Structure 1
Amino acid sequence: MEGNIAELGKYIGVGLTAIGMGGAAIGVGNVAGNYLSGALRNPSAAASQTATLFIGMAFAEALGIFSFLVALLLMFAV
């Protein structure tokens, strides 16, 4: 009985880390959408903001990757 509860807790933890991966997807969409909105308003400034776009997407995606790694650790290392 005790092993089943530990397995259940592990799977609940992995499910909760999926929230972080979903949050990263929302963050990347938000960054890209705001860039596109700004680029459509001022096309001459869009080229200078491309580096900022990629940095913002990288930071948002890094959080999703960290959540994925925590999920893998919970699944296989515990």
Structure 2
Amino acid sequence: MPFGGPDDGVSSAKVSPDGRSLYATTLLPRKLVRFGIHTDGILSGVEQRIGTDVNPIFPTITPDGRARSLPTTGR
């Protein structure tokens, strides 16, 4: 199922520990994209795009849902 915008180029995604957000990484625009997850499981539109300045592969979210690290492919 497509999600995000045509320029997002989603490479991988992970659900936050509280189940309320989906974080996806994008390789070409080098961003971490956050979607809300509604109680029925349907995704919202993009709620936030965070520039990473690196090539992110997998989002990693701490149990408190606050810190996100981005293992990368390098520049």
Scaled by the length of structure 2, the TM-score of the pair is 0.22
Higher strand share: 2
Higher helix share: 1
Higher RCO, 1 or 2 (CA under 8 Å, sep at least 6)?
1
* Larger Rg, first or second structure (1 or 2): 1
